[in-house]
């Protein structure tokens, strides 16, 4: 699943940065909404659901692009544990980008709530009404949200490490624009 290209393709980079903004916003919106009783609560919930589903759609597109264009090879001199961590975190991030929205959607279905995206656009229920399923998914959504946040923090720390300490081109592979002269192959 790698390519000799040094950088991700433009559509892959675009999706990466778009989704980075969306997901980070989602995490903030999520913890923000469950901690307030003001009218912000409803506003945030009304953003949380459609934005979460948008992330699901974008993640599926992104996964397909990954199968078509693959990812650039990691630098040859990267130590094995670091390489392993890099690869593993990519699996975890994909699983969460696809899993979190499905869990959210399933959680609402199991609680017999309509899944309203906006106005009259509703999603169908994907699970039967069940308190035990709801509880399972509610706990999963909660704990995975924090796992997601932690993974993103590590991802950010790692990429800054690549850029600021190793300066090995891993950051440039996904950088939206190149800051210094480098040929795009």
Partner 1 sequence: MPQSPLSPGNLPLTRLSVIAAVVGVVVISFAYTAGWLTPKRLTPKKLVASLAPPGGPALGHRRNHAKGICFTGTFEANGNGSELSRAQVFVAGQYPVVGRFNLATPNPNAADAMVRVRGIGIRITPPNGQEWRSAMIDAPIFPVSTVQDFYDLQMASSSKEPDAMKNFIAAHPEFTTFLGWAKSAPWTGSYAEERYNSLNSFVFIDNSGAKHTVRWSLVPAAQPVSILPDELAKRGPDFLDQEITQRVASSPQRWSVVVTLSNPGDPTADPNKAWPVDRRTVDVGTLTVQQIEPEADGPCRDINYDPTVLPAGITTSDDPFPSARSAAYSRSYNSRTAEEKYYPRNATGGKQ
How would you label 105-132 residue by residue, b for 16+ Cβ within 10 Å and e otherwise?
bbbbbbbeeebeeeeeeeeebebeeeee
**Alpha-carbon radius of gyration of the chain:** 19
Interface residue with ligand HEM among 7, 12, 26, 58 (CB under 6 A) is: 26
Window of 71-79, 141-149, 153-161, 169-177 that interacts with ligand HEM by CB under 6 A: 141-149
* Residue 27 near ligand HEM by CB under 6 A: yes
Interface residue with ligand HEM among 7, 62, 141, 162 (CB under 6 A) is: 141
Site for ligand HEM in 72-101 (CB under 6 A): 100-101
Please choose which of ligand HEM, partner 1, none residue 111 contacts, taking the beta carbon within 5 to 8 angstroms, the exact cut-off set by kind: partner 1
* Residue 110 near ligand HEM by CB under 6 A: no
DSSP state of 38: S
Site for partner 1 in 60-79 (CB under 8 A): 77, 79
* Residue 52 near ligand HEM by CB under 6 A: yes
Q: How far is the CB of 64 from partner 1 (least distance, A)?
A: 30
Please choose which of ligand HEM, partner 1, none residue 72 contacts, taking the beta carbon within 5 to 8 angstroms, the exact cut-off set by kind: none
Beta bridge partners of 2: 71
Cα–Cα distance measured from residue 18 to residue 40, given in angstroms and rounded to the nearest whole number: 24
Helix (H) or strand (E) holding 134: helix 131-160
- What distances in angstroms separate CA 18 from CA 141, 159, 175, one per listed residue? 22, 17, 12
Q: Which is nearer to partner 1, 37 or 68 (CB)?
A: 37
Residue reference for tokens 């994907």: 126
């Amino acid at each position: 699943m790698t390519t000799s290209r040094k950088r991700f393709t433009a559509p892959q980079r675009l999706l990466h940065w778009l989704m980075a903004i969306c997901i980070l916003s989602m995490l903030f919106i999520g913890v923000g909404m469950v901690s307030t009783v003001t009218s912000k609560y409803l506003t945030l919930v009304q953003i949380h659901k459609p934005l979460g589903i948008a992330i699901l759609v974008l993640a599926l597109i992104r996964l397909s692009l990954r199968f078509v264009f693959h990812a650039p090879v990691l630098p040859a001199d990267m130590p094995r544990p670091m390489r392993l961590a890099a690869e593993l975190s990519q699996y975890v991030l994909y699983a969460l980008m696809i899993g979190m929205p499905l869990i959210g959607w399933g959680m609402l279905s199991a609680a017999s709530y309509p899944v309203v995206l906006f106005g009259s656009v509703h999603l169908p229920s994907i699970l039967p009404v069940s308190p035990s399923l709801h509880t399972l998914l509610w706990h999963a959504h909660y704990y995975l949200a924090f796992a997601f946040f932690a993974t993103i923090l590590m991802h950010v720390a790692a990429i800054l490490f690549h850029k600021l300490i190793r300066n090995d081109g891993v950051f440039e592979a996904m950088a939206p624009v190149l800051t210094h002269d480098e040929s795009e192959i």
